[in-house]
Amino acid sequence: MATYTASSADVRASVRQYVAGFAALLVLTALTVGASTQLTATGSRATVALGIAGVEAVVALTIFMKLPRARWVVLGSLLLTLVLLIATLALPVLSEGDHIVGTRYRTWDAGVAAPGAARHEESH
């Protein structure tokens, strides 16, 4: 119990950080929604939205989850996970871009409408 009372001052200081983090997350959420309504190009919308989401993740990880104060075991495990995650994300993207010209089936080459497009039109 003694350790609890000894860290009371730290906890009280942390509470102020939590409130600040909460306010920051609300502002960033509003920014994400605002930016998505202003930007029309998918590429720029994706860059801004995911960029802001990244900042939000940093706020949550540092303030609420206190990651910078985590031990090496935690940081090492998360770093390894991050490397594997990047590989997981990169492999399909790389394989998707790796086609021999003319080998990929494209429905519009055969003069057939994409099935998804037809269904989408039906729904409206």
Partner 1 sequence: MELEIPYTVEERPDTGLTNARLAIWLFLASEVMLFGSLFSAYVLLRSGSEFWPRQADYVNIPLATLNTIVLITSSVTIVMAWASLKLQQFRSYRLYMGLTVLAGLGFLILKGVEYGQKFEHHYYPATNNFLGMYFVLTGLHIAHVIGGLVVNLYLLGPGARMWKTAPAQFTGRVEAAGLYWHFVDLVWIFLFPVLYLL
Residue 61, exposed/middle/buried by CB under 10 A (0-12, 13-18, 19+)? Answer: middle
Q: Is 3 in the site for partner 1 (CB under 8 A)?
A: yes
DSSP designation for 69: G
Q: Is 83 in the site for partner 1 (CB under 8 A)?
A: no
Rg (CA), the chain: 23
Is 39 in contact with 45 (CB distance < 8 Å)? yes
CA 45, 46, 47, 53 dihedral sign is positive
Nearest residue (CB) to partner 1, 68 versus 106: 106
For the CB of residue 111, give the shortest distance to partner 1 in the complex, in Å.
13
Cα gap 51→63, rounded to integer Å = 18
Q: Is 46 in the site for partner 1 (CB under 8 A)?
A: yes
Q: Kindly determine how many residues on this chain lie close enough to bind partner 1 according to the rule CB under 8 A.
A: 61
Residues that bind partner 1 (CB under 8 A): 1, 3-5, 7-8, 11-12, 14-15, 18-19, 21-22, 25-26, 29, 32-33, 36, 42, 45-46, 49-50, 52-53, 56-57, 60-61, 64-65, 70-74, 77-78, 80-82, 84-85, 88-89, 91-93, 96, 106-108, 114, 116-117, 119-120, 123-124
